[in-house]
């Protein structure tokens, strides 16, 4: 009984769906010509007026007249000022501790006493180096000027921004373990 009931329900649904595919509720055979007339009326109307284009402003022309002046993108003026004074020695052989920034080096102790004192410095590669006055360390051409029980003093050469070089004092202190 449920099979025939289901078959009847499906049949009724099919009829309802097919009835909906017709012209629809309230449609009459004269609706299509009315639609065509409405479309023709809309197309026959004149188009609305367009706004006028904005007026372009005239800009003043500028003529560059500094051809005879110094070019700001060359550093010829810096080279003329840098010809005298301090500078790093490009022919000097670099020492192992110059491969590391000064702040990455750690003074871990000293050997000896008095004028023959030697500092022990640990580099980031975990290798210990002996440091005495005259040795170079750090990446700013730092030359060791003095070794003491608690610190290493050095002078670095740093660029002054105008093509020259300045001496800057620096130090490396013994770490507290």
Output 26 or 155, whichever has higher pLDDT: 155
Average pLDDT, the chain: 82
Radius of gyration, alpha carbons of the chain: 46
Coil, strand or helix at 94: coil
Given a cut of 90, is residue 72 above it in pLDDT?
no
The DSSP annotation for 51-70 comes to PPPPPPPPPPP-----TTSP
CB 166 within 8 A of CB 154: no
The pLDDT, as a whole number, for residue 24 is: 52
The pLDDT, as a whole number, for residue 9 is: 83
Output 105 or 23, whichever has higher pLDDT: 105
Given a cut of 60, is residue 150 above it in pLDDT?
yes
Chain length of the chain? 177
Note the CATH number of domain 98-173. Answer: 2.30.30.830
C-alpha to C-alpha distance for 133 and 58, rounded to whole angstroms: 71
- Lowest-pLDDT choice from 25-29, 132-136, 151-155: 25-29
Average pLDDT over residues 147-154: 92
CA dihedral of residues 80, 81, 84, 85 (deg, nearest 10): -160
Output 76 or 121, whichever has higher pLDDT: 121
List, for residues 9-48, the tens digit of each pLDDT value: 888 888 877 776 655 555 555 667 889 999 999 999 998 8
List, for residues 79-103, the tens digit of each pLDDT value: 554 445 788 888 889 999 999 999 9
pTM (two decimals): 0.51
């Amino acid at each position: 009984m449920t099979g025939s009931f289901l078959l009847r329900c499906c049949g009724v649904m099919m009829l309802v769906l097919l009835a909906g595919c017709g012209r629809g509720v309230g449609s009459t055979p004269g609706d299509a010509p009315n639609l065509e007339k409405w479309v023709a009326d809309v197309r026959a109307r004149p188009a609305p007026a367009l706004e006028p284009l904005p007026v372009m402003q005239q800009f003043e022309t500028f003529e560059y007249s500094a051809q005879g002046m110094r070019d700001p993108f060359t550093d010829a003026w810096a080279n003329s000022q840098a010809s005298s004074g301090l500078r790093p020695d490009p022919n000097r052989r670099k020492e192992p501790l110059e491969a590391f920034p000064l702040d990455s080096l750690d003074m871990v102790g000293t050997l000896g006493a008095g004028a023959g004192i030697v500092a022990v410095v640990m580099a980031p590669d975990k290798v210990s180096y002996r440091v005495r006055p005259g040795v170079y360390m750090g990446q700013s051409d730092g030359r060791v000027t003095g070794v003491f029980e608690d610190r290493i003093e050095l002078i670095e050469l740093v660029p002054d921004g105008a093509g020259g070089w300045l001496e800057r004092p620096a130090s490396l202190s013994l770490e507290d373990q």
